[in-house]
Amino acid sequence: MRKASAFVPAHISGFFQVCEASDPELMGSRNCGPCLDIGVLTEVKIEPATRTSVKVLINNKRTPAAKTTLAAIEKLLGIVREPLDVKIAHSCQVPIGAGYGASGAGTLGAALALSKALGLRLSRKRLATMAHVAEVTCHTGLGDVGAQVLGGLVIGLEPGAPPHDRWKQIRILKDVKVVCGTFTGLPTAKLLCDEEFRERSKRLGGLAMKKLLEKPTLQNFMKVSREFAERLELLNDELSALIEAVSETSAIGVSQVMLGKAAFALVKEKKLEQVSRTFLEFLEPSAVIVASVNRTGARLLG
């Protein structure tokens, strides 16, 4: 048996602009947001077999519908052309389907780990391209993978997979934390297939990006993200109430996680307790996450 493991950070988008193209390597989004020091741990095990089979587990439960991971793995297995028994186990440290980039993190982690286990020596850029193409074709995300490769608080200046994408990091001090609170997820695939929604994101996301690039600071990132969220019209009463309450604390800023019924705030460590307490007025402790910003991006383990 051969095996390998990888960690890929979660990624939050404060705003996004859908960018369409006929080539999935060029498709994606322009966005901005932080990678977290929690995300998805993925372990891959392979053994020789008489017939290729792939089993995917998420948090110890078999998941036949893990279509994005399966799409990327199929590409890799097409390179080796030998029958293998492949077991992929994702351990998710963030909510699934709530805007934390779990799908992209799991897919990229599976690609990195399987390539290592197979001894393929493929570049990170090529593996990132496979993961990105799987994301956009399966409609589970648009612009997480590139950010997750890099780490940090990143602006996605150009959409797509390497070498078409382009990213810029916003400087962030080490004492800045991210507090997240999640009510539930949103139907990402349904929203991304909705033409009216895509057009609205193009207009509002383009405006948000323009405003951010005029002043690429933490405070302005949170300000334009809040404006984007309010105009995108995905906020419900309970999420709006949480965001309003947190905005009255000493957080650097607070807005909606895209795309999820969830909120995130950037906060300096000395104000962390106050902001966390406000989140807990609306949510159970299990639904609140306190994280640091991941600065290294996706990596193999061991």
Residue 72 domain boundaries: 1-302
Tokens read off for 171: 């400087």
Name which of 190, 192, 187 is nearest 205 in CA terms.
Answer: 192
Query: So what's the pLDDT on residue 187?
Result: 82
Query: So what's the pLDDT on residue 90?
Result: 97
Where the chain has pLDDT below 70, the residues are: 65
Q: Can you tell me the distance from the alpha carbon of 103 to that of 97, in angstroms, rounded to the nearest whole number?
A: 8
Q: Can you tell me the distance from the alpha carbon of 140 to that of 188, in angstroms, rounded to the nearest whole number?
A: 6
- Residue with tokens 């990229």, as numbered in its chain: 108
Any idea what the CATH number is for the domain that residue 119 is in? 3.30.230.120
> In total, how many domains does the chain have?
1
Task: Output phi, psi for 292, to 5 deg.
Answer: -95, 170
* Other CB atoms within 10 Å distance of the CB of residue 81: 7
pTM (2 decimals)? 0.95
Pairing, β 61-62 against β 15-19:
unpaired
Query: So what's the pLDDT on residue 278?
Result: 98
Task: Output phi, psi for 300, to 5 deg.
Answer: -75, 150
Do residues 65 and 193 make contact, with C-beta atoms less than 8 angstroms apart?
no
Q: What is the pLDDT of residues 164-174, one digit of tens each?
A: 999 999 999 99
